[in-house]
Homo-oligomer: A and B are copies of this chain.
Amino acid sequence: MAISKKSASIQQVEPDEKEPTSVAGLVLENRLGYALRRAQLAVFKHFNEAMQEHEIRPAQFSSLVVIEGYPGITQTNLAKVLDIDPPRIVSLINNLEERGLALRVRCKRDKRSHGIFLSKKGEALTEQLKELAEQSDIDATQSLSEIERRQLLSLLVKIYAPETSEE
């Protein structure tokens, strides 16, 4: 195999003395996709730690919040709102139902579909989780001011839901 001129004919080599430990200075640092991924992982790490004692995963949290906001929402609509595939919803709701946080109610008009509701327990937990989530966001973004945090949020919404951010 032809190798780069920078190392041509080298068979054994010294390790890079610089011991790089970050992507600083590389093109990667200017790629939005990469930065989004790294930032998302960092923020989720905090989130998961905060939710650990309640055994709530990110997708479960967002489901709870959407069900709370739209009681009786169908699974199909929940999938649309969260932009995840219908099969994912099934195990998500199964889990919430098994834990007594949510329940399916068969819709009498269209017996194929189910309205999803929170139980009392689910509502109480969701209130608690929303506060934990807000605090987790702040903890994970200590290096940002409150203004920067709002700026960031608004830029992100423009990316994933450009329609709803026009006004």
Contacts and interface: CB of A to CB of B under 8 A. Distances in A.
B161 A38 contact: yes
- Output the residue of A3, A58, A163 with the most chain B CB within 10 A: A3
User: What does DSSP make chain A's interface, helix, strand, loop or mixed?
Assistant: helix
A54 interface: no
A72 B13 contact: yes
B72 A119 contact: no
Contacts of A11: 105-106
Interface of A: 1-4, 6-7, 10-16, 18-44, 46-47, 58, 62, 65-66, 69-74, 77, 80-83, 100, 103, 105-110, 113, 115, 117-123, 130, 133-134, 136-137, 140-144, 148-149, 151-153, 155-165
